[in-house]
Amino acid sequence: MSNEKNTLENRDGFQSKWGFILACIGSAVGMGNIWRFPIMVQKYGGMTFLLPYFLFVILIGASGVIEEFALGRRAGAGPVGAFGMCTNDRFGKKTPGEAVGAIPIIGSLMLAIGYTVVLGWIFKYTWMGISGSLFGLGTDMGAIGGAFGATAPEAETLGEALGMMSSNGFFGIGNGVWQLFGLVVSLIIMAMGIAGGIEKANKIMMPVLFFLFLGLGIYIFTLDGSGEGYKYIFTLKPEGLLDPEVWVFAFGQAFFSLSVAGNGSVIYGSYLSKSEDIPSSARNVAIFDTMAALLAAFVIIPAMAVVLGSGINEVKGGPGLMFVYLVNVFNAMPGGRIIGMIFFICVLFAGVSSIVNLYEAPVAFLQEKFKMKRIGAVATIGVIGAIVSIAIQPWTSQWMDVVSIYICPLGAMLAGIMFFWIYKKEHALDAVNEGGKKQIGSWFYPLGKFIYVPLALLALILGAWYGGIG
């Protein structure tokens, strides 16, 4: 199969199985685990939501995650090279696949740009937590909301957003300085390479994130009133399982949490050793991503119950949860200054690990297609990310909606089509089984071809219908 490889000379890669797994966990553990998952659990009745969520995690982990890792590793390239490999295998032409592969690359870059804005918020709030200025806001919701409003101005249209930024000198409003600082930190990690930068950073950030979240969870467990939060989590309402909306949002949460979008998992797979067991790695990523989401729920829901009581039902997900409601909650708790600081350090690690993955696909594309040196590719993409992210600050929410509702599920569906429908079956199974201790079961290929690919299409349709499901 050497003629199918689209590799660079001396291509960098992950040096260990757990380095790869931790990097993939880092890409999956993002804001959705923190500002959306706990609210979904609380809103839809705890275990009533978790049971279908677990089911979809298993289904997607056993099909889409495996497929994207295998696709990238077999091609030794990101989506453009991998999709080109598939069409070349079937039709003898790489060009159609490479053209289609540009869609996930564009999606990854757009999502990274939106995430750059969010990362700037996180860096600012982490520093506020360390310096004590966050705790200094107290429980005055006007002051807390005003602080976030100044950090994240809003506009109805892109034109209005660009006008707001240009009329104020681009750094006159918003959070541009912290945004650039967060981007530079992420780019430095990327410039150091896969093994020397991304792998090493995630080997530090992911264990620390889990350890700190676990510590927060244990502390909150000791507080009066936290028991009500656990009741939310462990509630099971059988009649709720008959509600289609529960299944729709459980599916959406699992789909987006596992980062199947035809870009990040494909490119990380391309850096994976041929001796690694892909199904085992996919299983570990799904397990630890779910653990991270559950840890976030076990921190956030009981913490809100301690301070808000039944008012927890009025809280909605999204940035407002993390930067407004939780600031109020932590500041009202015993030891609130330390709790808030630790929480935002956890969020910072989750944000950096995610954005590094999102920028990696377009960086690798420049390396593969234009033979650019890594530092040059990182700098080029970084400049694009900096300019666009600064300009769109007041329109970030709408920007992220466009990408997550339409482009991400489309990328996941295209990757699934390429692997399960275009790439020849025997080659697809060889790609999955390479390095495995045993052959994958006969269930895998039909599951991916007839269940996962239609589900990816369903994610696109349902996202458009509901205005976002993950």
Would you state the pLDDT for residue 5? 43
Under 8 Å between Cβ of 120 and 178: yes
Would you state the pLDDT for residue 10? 57
Question: Rounded to whole angstroms, what are the CA distances from 404 to 255, 362, 397, 470?
Answer: 11, 17, 10, 8
Whats the size of the chain, residue-wise? 470
Q: Which residue has the tokens 């995430």?
A: 115
- The pLDDT tens digits along the chain (470 residues) read 444 444 444 567 888 888 888 888 888 887 888 888 998 998 888 999 999 999 999 999 999 999 999 999 999 999 999 999 999 999 999 999 999 999 999 999 999 999 999 999 999 999 999 999 999 999 999 999 999 999 999 999 999 999 999 999 889 999 999 999 999 999 999 999 998 899 999 999 999 999 999 999 999 999 999 998 998 899 898 999 999 999 999 999 999 999 899 998 999 999 999 999 999 999 999 999 999 999 999 999 999 999 887 677 777 878 888 999 999 999 999 999 999 999 999 999 999 999 999 999 999 999 999 999 999 999 999 999 999 999 999 999 999 999 999 999 999 999 999 999 999 999 999 999 999 989 999 999 999 999 999 999 999 999 999 999 97
Q: Return d(Cα 271, Cα 169) in angstroms, integer.
A: 41
Q: Return d(Cα 295, Cα 291) in angstroms, integer.
A: 6
Q: Return d(Cα 404, Cα 102) in angstroms, integer.
A: 16
Under 8 Å between Cβ of 117 and 385: no
Residue 14 backbone dihedrals phi, psi, to 5 degrees: -70, 140
Instruction: Please tell me what DSSP assigns to residue 78.
Output: -
Which CATH number, 1.20.120, 1.20.1740, 3.30.1490, 2.30.30, labels domain 9-466?
A: 1.20.1740
Would you state the pLDDT for residue 372? 94
Would you state the pLDDT for residue 414? 97
Q: Is 235 helix (H, G, I), strand (E, B) or coil?
A: coil
Q: Residue 43: which of 213, 249, 227, 221 has the closest Cα?
A: 249
Under 8 Å between Cβ of 267 and 7: no
User: Domain spans of the chain?
Assistant: 9-466
Q: Residue 216: which of 347, 320, 123 has the closest Cα?
A: 347
Would you state the pLDDT for residue 2? 42
Under 8 Å between Cβ of 97 and 87: yes
pTM: 0.93
Q: Residue 161: which of 324, 382, 398 has the closest Cα?
A: 398
Q: Residue 176: which of 135, 120, 226 has the closest Cα?
A: 120
Q: How far apart are the first and last CA of the chain?
A: 37
Q: Is 155 helix (H, G, I), strand (E, B) or coil?
A: coil
Q: Residue 122: which of 343, 273, 299, 388 has the closest Cα?
A: 343
Structure tokens, 416: 């699934």
Structure tokens, 233: 């989590």
Q: Return d(Cα 410, Cα 253) in angstroms, integer.
A: 16
Q: Which residue has the tokens 């009533």?
A: 48
Would you state the pLDDT for residue 15? 85
Under 8 Å between Cβ of 329 and 306: yes
Would you state the pLDDT for residue 177? 96
Instruction: Please tell me what DSSP assigns to residue 30.
Output: S
DSSP string, 282-301: HHHHHHHHHHHHHHHHHHHH
- What is the rounded (10 degree) CA torsion for 247, 252, 254, 257? -160
- What is the rounded (10 degree) CA torsion for 269, 181, 202, 439? -10
Q: Using only C-alpha atoms, what is the Rg of the chain?
A: 22
Would you state the pLDDT for residue 11? 67
Question: Rounded to whole angstroms, what are the CA distances from 456 to 333, 405, 443, 460?
Answer: 42, 11, 18, 7
Maximum CA pair distance of the chain? Answer: 66
Q: Return d(Cα 355, Cα 3) in angstroms, integer.
A: 32
Instruction: Please tell me what DSSP assigns to residue 435.
Output: T
Q: Return d(Cα 271, Cα 76) in angstroms, integer.
A: 7
Would you state the pLDDT for residue 6? 42
Helices (runs of H) and strands (runs of E) counted in the chain:
24, 0
Helix 95-131 and helix 408-416: axis angle, to 10°? 140
- Cα 201 to its chain centre, rounded Å, is 17
Would you state the pLDDT for residue 17? 86
Structure tokens, 445: 């290929």
